[in-house]
Amino acid sequence: MSHDHHDRVVFITGAGSGIGRATALRLAGEGASIVVADIDPDGADATVAAIADAGGDAMAVSCDVRRRDSIAKARDTGLARFGSITSLVNNAGVVTMENLDELSEESWDRVLDINLKGPWLVAQEFTATLAATDRPAVVNLGTIEGEVVVSSGGTCQVHYNASKGGVKMLTKALAIEMGRKGIRVNAVAPGPIATDFVSLEGVTSDEAWEYLGTRLVIPRVGRPEDVAAAISFLLSDDASWITGIHLLVDGGWLTR
């Protein structure tokens, strides 16, 4: 199913790779103009080039979601190009593979700052911009690890779980606060997705499948495009009476 986003301008953080890039390509293909925001300029440029090759309209902006000044500059650059920003996807995220004994304060702070503080800062900086448009919407990126601890090797990444559990409740709170200004706020919660977020081998190897296959109801690893499709729906008018949800895109992982 395709959704009509021809009158939309979407700002996507972390759009230089993975789910962010797939989302940018999906929405651009459905008519949206895209502000590709990423801390990696090469990744952002590559996404813009892919959109342009497919006939879409996009621009790249540098954005560090840990810094309010960087967010504001990226927003204003997008506004100068497109005149408005109607939709926001808080996709930027990070994880470090450290168990509790090894976890440093620096790693804790980095993961929480990007994964949880970042969506709050971006949402706060964009509230007035979104509220000035028609039918504005926000989608945050959560994960099934905001619901359960997933540990196939004994290392749980407590900082990542804490950050993504926070995204679920942040989404609910933002839905209420931003809803007073007419802005819908939802989240998607992906299961195991084949991206380079950790490593492709981490979810596509035969060894990994011995574990994943016992959990997934749909017998394949997820693709970035699966998550992009859910984001497209939540941003669309077809979801106009949906806000505050944490939509599982997990191949049935949490049904077992």
Q: Which of 126, 160, 197, 253 is catalytic?
A: 160
* Integer Cα distance of 190 and 120 in angstroms: 20
Give the count of alpha carbons within 13 A of 79, CB side only: 14
8-state DSSP, 4: -
Segment holding 186, helix H or strand E: strand 184-190
Coil, strand or helix at 77: helix
Would you call 160 a catalytic residue per the annotation? yes
> How deeply is 89 buried, as exposed, middle or buried, from its count of CB atoms within 10 A (0-12, 13-18, 19+)?
buried
Listing from the earlier edge strand, what are the strands of the sheet with 184-190? 57-62, 33-38, 9-13, 87-90, 137-141, 184-190, 246-249
8-state DSSP, 222: B
Are the C-beta atoms of 86 and 134 separated by less than 8 Å?
Answer: yes
Note the Cα 110 to chain centre separation in Å. Answer: 17
Are the C-beta atoms of 224 and 21 separated by less than 8 Å?
Answer: yes
Active site residues: 160
